[in-house]
Amino acid sequence: MRLFALIEGTEYQFLRGSLDVEVCGIRYDSRQVKPGDLFVCIKGFALDGHDFLPEAWAAGAVAALVERNELAESALQGGTVVKVGDARKGLAVAACRFHDHPSRKLTLVGVTGTNGKTTTTYLIESVLRRAGHQVGLIGTIAYRCGAIEIDAARTTPEASDLQVLLERMVSLGVDSVVMEVSSHALALHRVDGCEFDVAVFTNLTQDHFDFHGSMEAYRRTKLSLFEGLGAEATKATEKAAVINNDDPAADLFLGAAKTRRYTYGLEQPADLSATDVHIGLDGVRCRLQTPWGATAIHSALLGRYNLSNILAAAAAGLHLGARLPEVAEGISELRHVPGRCERVDEGQEFGVMIDYAHTPDALQRVLRMARECCPERLIVLFGCGGDRDRGKRPLMGETALRLADFTVITSDNPRSEDPHRIVREIEEGAKKVWGQGRGYVIILDRAMAIREALALAQRGDMVVIAGKGHETYQILGDRTIPFDDRKVAREALHELGFRRG
């Protein structure tokens, strides 16, 4: 495709070369550039693509999109150079055009919110599959297309990677894709040009303030998905917004959507609700009430907050044509989501649960759910990630001490931060509750901390290992080491003499 066709209609400044050059691919990483590619210079969090223009030219790039006013002379010793106001926007526009807008050939569902995105996408995927669709999934845990699964590098792929993935799904016969849409993806224009058919809002609580700066900015970013729903639509599908009416921000999201809107809720009146609710160790049972009728629901997922995710998935599925029996069957068929309230059972006399909870609200939800399932003591282990929102650390410390009988504070992914400083900031919140019958200990080595938490547990207790969930690594400074909470917990249980079978 000619470069001119990729950037036509956008604001740009032609610096050198020819706009008639043929582009064979689009890259933003100079290490992946091949002859004939367009190289888009993105300013990252640690590196700036402009600094790697010489490498891109050497690898065969024929053109580059830049946004920096001043470039080194060596950076201009290559092919066509075009300056744009925002390289990320330029990347999204060019990628959509280069790959012939694959989202227009799919039914695309986007799920956004602070918590619950992953579980909700898994539920929607299961419902749509039960309704006869060929479904793709894009999210925190994996990118999946039928039997093909790719480890997820980030919750929502970079714009050009996303378009490649959607195009591949189309070629494999997928007709519907369910995607987690993170606030980073919205702010960084990764989903620009994607035509969503359904947008789902789960909830809004504190997270990513290190990136967005404030709750207001975070909220505005999430709202943008709903403000854009239906704009410049090319598909005949009626667009719909699915909104959690229990969330304080519900009215803002309802106001942002100019399409059909469905609300769901457990506390507030809503289009989709649940009656005859029973929550226990075997999961959730209820009667689902919807504008399409009512049906019995049984899910193996634990906790009241997962019932909220179930309502969201039901609304999306029903709007897209699934029948009530298919909704009920699809929900029932999803037995668990990796790293989300995932139980570890090696025959021990107490419960062990792994969860991804890494925000104050998510930790509160999972601990309250665990308390419902726990006849004796509740023990929680968690840490906070480095180079991320520091403001939530004391809040999580206070939440843990208030809701658990005993807390083990440990390291998560400290990244470039000193783990001692991270736990000190967690401890600021813990100390507000300490002395009210709630104890805690600090063990920085996460493996040792897990072993200690499990060694403390007795018959009838519940141990919640929170923060990393499905992750199979730990980031320590400039090193990434293998680390899986589930595996470490099983090994620790074996050392304690428990072994199933």
Instruction: Please count the other Cβ atoms lying within 10 Å of the Cβ belonging to residue 55.
Output: 14
Is the CATH number 1.20.950.20 carried by domain 342-495? no
The H or E element that residue 133 is part of is none
> Rounded mean pLDDT of 291-297?
98
- Two tokens, residue 93: 């526009």
Reported confidence tier of residue 337, pLDDT bands at 50, 70, 90: very high
pLDDT for 500: 80
* Residue labelled with tokens 């025959």: 347
Residues 6+ apart with CB under 8 A from 340: 118, 119, 301, 355, 356, 469, 470
pLDDT of residue 318: 98
Q: Would the pLDDT of 209 be above 60? A: no
Mean pLDDT score, 175-192:
95
pLDDT tens per residue across span 343-361: 899 999 999 999 999 999 8
Closest CA to 418 of 389, 381, 387: 387
- Both tokens assigned to 470: 């499905």
Quick: pLDDT tens for 38-96: 999 999 877 899 999 999 999 999 999 999 877 766 667 789 999 999 999 999 999 99
What are the tokens at 28?
Answer: 């933003």
- Residue 199: exposure state from Cβ atoms within 10 A (0-12, 13-18, ≥19): buried
Model confidence at 10: pLDDT above 80? yes
Helix (H) / strand (E) element for 462: namely strand 462-466
What's residue 501's pLDDT?
63
pLDDT of residue 44: 83
* Domain 102-333 bears CATH identifier 3.40.1190.10: yes
Segment (H or E) for 162 = helix 159-171
Residue pLDDT, tens place only, 383-422: 999 998 899 999 999 999 999 999 999 999 999 999 999 9
Q: 241: which 2 tokens?
A: 């917004």
What is the pLDDT averaged over residues 282-297? Answer: 96
pLDDT at 151 over 90: no
Predicted pLDDT of residue 213: 66
Query: Mean pLDDT throughout 289-307?
Result: 95
Confidence of residue 447 (pLDDT cuts 50, 70, 90): very high
Q: If you average pLDDT over every residue of the chain, what do you get? A: 93
Q: What angle do CA 320, 323, 327 make, to 5 degrees?
A: 85
Which class for 269: exposed (0-12), middle (13-18), buried (19 or more C-beta within 10 A)?
Answer: exposed
Judge whether residue 226 has pLDDT over 70: yes
Neighbours of 476 (CB within 10 A): 17
Torsion 124-130-133-138 (CA) sign: positive
Mean pLDDT across 5-20: 93
Report the pLDDT value the prediction gives residue 155, as an integer from 0 to 100.
Answer: 78
Q: What's the number of CA atoms in the CB half-sphere (13 Å) around residue 338?
A: 13
Domain boundaries, the chain: 3-98, 102-333, 342-495
pLDDT of residue 145: 85
Split at pLDDT 50, 70, 90, the class of 25 is: very high
CB 308 within 8 A of CB 200: no
CA distance 283 to 304: 9
Q: What pLDDT is attached to residue 75?
A: 67
CATH, range 3-98: 3.40.1390.10
- Could you tell me the two tokens for 482? 């293998």
